[in-house]
Chains A and B, each alone.
Chain A
């Protein structure tokens, strides 16, 4: 072949030297060479993500300063955490606001994305147009753009406080009313985060086998029942993926005040990097807890149990059978030794 001439030529012209024979089958050898492709990422991950992730824990218990001799760190116990959570008047409120952002916005984003995807699914004109519009924010959104839009009040669709229903709600429970205001003040920007979830849901919905719906319709199910009994259970994994994606995404934009605080803390030469590390570490623990809760809530529990049950049942059956066979063999042995045959006395 033309493409691989070089190698072929070398084989023909030179007698092959006796190489150290590679161990393993052809497949094993080729699989080992898979590391060649994977190695750059692996090294990068170890240096730039895995190591820093652990090193930040160490840093957060130290006073870290940049001196003429490089980075100097001295152990100072939990002082950084104390100063982050108790001394700094801004950090704890910012963290609480971040949690509020996640708790209020994520369900709204995922639900809106799901509803839009269900509406756009099926035989539907102008689907592309709507999809282009809903995906547009993913392309244009960036931290500073968002800050500018929010600071100029262009994300506010109108004053919620003037709506009649809201006033009823407000007199009923002010706390709930605050959350509603919090949601509607940034409503347009909040929706911007549903761009990718919509596409994920649409993709998932189109993969569902339509004969399932037909079967349900023949059995007299209403569209509402079909939605709850067929569609939602099938796309449950996608709901989980979208939720995790949204949680991660929401953290990355200035709607989350903690991010900015950590960045300012990095450049704060007086307090040092120890405090910044403590900020970052508390923050990521929070994110991990939120992710864990989301994962636990949306994981498909029934599947696990079924799987375990089937395996265990098979196991129990097998063990019983083995026991029976073993007992039979023992009896046979016993009878042979005694010289007694089966069935006869």
Chain B
């Protein structure tokens, strides 16, 4: 009797824990919940991967839900051709890379100014940095577009349809999510002891020298993080790119947006095509989506630490 009671108490303690949150019951529940939500998060991606290997037969077959019976690579091949692939990816990479470099540089300068100097109206300008994140892009996009069109007409030099407008925006610190990049730098620079700056200044360094030799050289990991974020965001940007670049230069997400129409155009002239072989269906679309996502996903699995910690460093959590 005594023994069973003791065992029961032990089991109860193991299950319920001392204060509910350290028992097995709670932990199991938490794991189940987290896994369930992770499934929801990954659901569209899993679905996409599953679809992109399905043949036309598999799609029509109502019995198949996840795993295709006759998996093919045809979808990927077709999507690869329609997206005019290796070139689109290369375009995308240098396009996003250039913009990201410009953004990183200007954010570092601005972040440094905010972290180290006390100039007039600093509070006001800091508020403006945050405002530049909050202001909806369409409002400022129309006059920006007018400006570039006017400049293009005056100079007689093609601007719309090239990288230049967005590069100018990036250099001016008004690129994609520039405010967040500035915040990341601002918070990191504030952590570097000011004594180092002062020591260098006593040795006769100018402000720019301090910035380059002391600050930048100490914050290489942060620079990499910011660059990666800027790169990903520029790669995935479609709104401003869709306005300034349109389809003059083939970049990945824009090409995905045009996928349906290009597919129709390319598959139309095939004479005597066997019925339904090259008709647009989900599997082609999903294959194209997979191709668009793949570079970023591969990159993410190598450098995921930088991303997550980078956001933690922003300190936009209100200190």
Q: Which residues does chain A contribute within 8 Å of B253, judged by CB atoms?
A: 142-145
Mask: chain B, 264-283; 1 = CB below 8 Å from A; 0 = not: 00000000000000000010
B143 near A51 with CB under 8 A, answer yes
Q: Which of B7-15, B68-76, B168-176, B218-226 contacts A (4 or more CB under 8 A)?
A: B168-176
A276 near B142 with CB under 8 A, answer yes
A199 near B311 with CB under 8 A, answer yes
B174 near A48 with CB under 8 A, answer yes
A277 near B142 with CB under 8 A, answer yes
A42 to B239, CA, bound (A): 24
The tally of residues in A whose CB lies under 8 Å from a CB in B reads 104
State how many angstroms separate the Cβ of A340 from the closest Cβ of chain B. 56
Mask: chain B, 236-252; 1 = CB below 8 Å from A; 0 = not: 11110011000000000
Which residue on chain B has the smallest CB distance to residue A186? B44
| A231 CB within 8 Å of chain B | no
How many interface contacts (CB-CB < 8 Å) are there between A and B?
284
State how many angstroms separate the Cβ of A35 from the closest Cβ of chain B. 6
State how many angstroms separate the Cβ of A73 from the closest Cβ of chain B. 10
A263 near B243 with CB under 8 A, answer yes
A200 to B313, CA, bound (A): 10
The tally of residues in B whose CB lies under 8 Å from a CB in A reads 98
Q: Which residues does chain B contribute within 8 Å of A157, judged by CB atoms?
A: 40, 43
Q: A196-B311, A199-B308, A200-B317 are in contact. Are A56 and B139 (CB under 8 A)?
A: yes
A4 to B137, CA, bound (A): 44
A52 near B144 with CB under 8 A, answer yes
A33 to B205, CA, bound (A): 13
| B192 CB within 8 Å of chain A | no
Which residue on chain A has the smallest CB distance to residue B197? A30
B109, B125, B138, B149: residue with the most chain A Cβ atoms closer than 10 Å:
B138
| A174 CB within 8 Å of chain B | no
B132 near A45 with CB under 8 A, answer yes
State how many angstroms separate the Cβ of B168 from the closest Cβ of chain A. 8
Q: A116-B37, A135-B308 are in contact. Are A143 and B257 (CB under 8 A)?
A: yes
Which parts of A284-338 form the interface with B (CB within 8 Å)?
Answer: 284, 287, 291
Q: Which residues does chain B contribute within 8 Å of A35, judged by CB atoms?
A: 113, 117, 119
A223 to B29, CA, bound (A): 15
Complex partner residue of B172 from A45, A124, A144, A187, CB under 8 angstroms? A45
State how many angstroms separate the Cβ of A71 from the closest Cβ of chain B. 6
Complex partner residue of B21 from A191, A223, A245, CB under 8 angstroms? A223
Which parts of B14-64 form the interface with A (CB within 8 Å)?
Answer: 19-21, 30, 33-34, 37-38, 40-45, 47-48, 51
A276 to B206, CA, bound (A): 48
Which parts of B64-118 form the interface with A (CB within 8 Å)?
Answer: 106, 109-110, 112-114, 116-118
B203 near A283 with CB under 8 A, answer no
State how many angstroms separate the Cβ of A52 from the closest Cβ of chain B. 4
A47 near B172 with CB under 8 A, answer yes
Complex partner residue of A40 from B33, B109, B256, CB under 8 angstroms? B109
B317 near A241 with CB under 8 A, answer yes
Q: A143-B239, A237-B318 are in contact. Are A53 and B137 (CB under 8 A)?
A: no
Task: Supply 5 A–B pairs (Cβ within 8 Å), ascending by A.
Answer: A31-B119, A34-B118, A143-B257, A259-B239, A280-B139
B-side interface residues toward A, CB under 8 Å? 19-21, 30, 33-34, 37-38, 40-45, 47-48, 51, 106, 109-110, 112-114, 116-119, 125, 128-129, 132-147, 149-150, 153, 169, 171-174, 182, 200-201, 203-209, 211, 213, 232, 235-239, 242-243, 253-254, 256-257, 259, 282, 285-286, 288-289, 292-293, 296-297, 299-300, 304, 307-308, 311-312, 316-318
